[in-house]
Amino acid sequence: NAGVMQNPRHLVRRRGQEARLRCSPMKGHSHVYWYRQLPEEGLKFMVYLQKENIIDESGMPKERFSAEFPKEGPSILRIQQVVRGDSAAYFCASSQGEEQPQHFGDGTRLSIL
Amino acid sequence: DAKTTQPNSMESNEEEPVHLPCNHSTISGTDYIHWYRQLPSQGPEYVIHGLTSNVNNRMASLAIAEDRKSSTLILHRATLRDAAVYYCILRRAGSYQLTFGKGTKLSVIP
């Protein structure tokens, strides 16, 4: 049973570049959540998606960040024109249903030079 | 949102039981108590959750106080692999957001 798969595990970008983070949920899971963990802090909710729909993006910064979960393929978290403050670990989780436990991937560690 | 309070850190000897406390004095009747743990360089791992009754699974037990203002995660025999940060999280029925605090960093001594 494959768990939640995130790639890449580590991503280095220069300021102004774009970062694309991918997440494949567990088999049978159609609910995907993205969280961000800044150094020395707890995880913070960013966005909740179901197939082809954004359900709640209240935790996403209003600019430069977007997320999608297409009918086919992984969920993508996209950060345009990255800045140093975007350096963090980004975690994806998936669940079978909205109230079921969330299962997390091992994250993508984004470093901005 | 109701808040949880956990000790910053705890230590345990290997192969001994560990009791990790969590206070949540402002819990509401529809808040579930969830526990996750995060090993170094990994994502959080679901451990257990409950509402009112004590719960057991293959990983741990969850003991919930009768007034629900506190709970305890019990690891029956700590192993080195259990060294992690443990998060106690309240999740309202119908809510999907998990709010992670600082958690308790558990160290296991061989």
A66-93 pLDDT tens trace: 999 998 899 999 999 999 999 999 999 9
Chain A contact for B77 (CB, 8 A cutoff): no
Whole-number pLDDT of residue A56: 94
Residues B71-78, mean pLDDT to the nearest whole number: 96
Phi/psi of residue A59, each to 5°?
-95, 0
Cα–Cα distances (Å) from B6 to B44, B87, B102, B104, in that order, read: 17, 8, 8, 6
**pLDDT class of A15 with cuts at 50, 70, 90:** very high
Q: Dig out the tokens for A101 from the structure.
A: 């436990």
pLDDT given for residue B2 in this prediction? 65
Nearest CA in chain A to B88: A42
What's phi and psi for B80, nearest 5 deg? Answer: -60, -30
Query: What is the mean pLDDT of the segment spanning B17-44?
Result: 94
Buried/exposed A39-65: b ≥16 CB within 10 Å, e otherwise: eeebbbbbbbbeeeeeeebebbeeeeb
Q: Please tell me which residue of chain B has the smallest CA distance to A31.
A: B96
- Judge whether residue B1 has pLDDT over 70: no
A1 pLDDT higher than 60: no
Q: Which of A103, A42, A45 is nearest to B98 (CA)?
A: A45
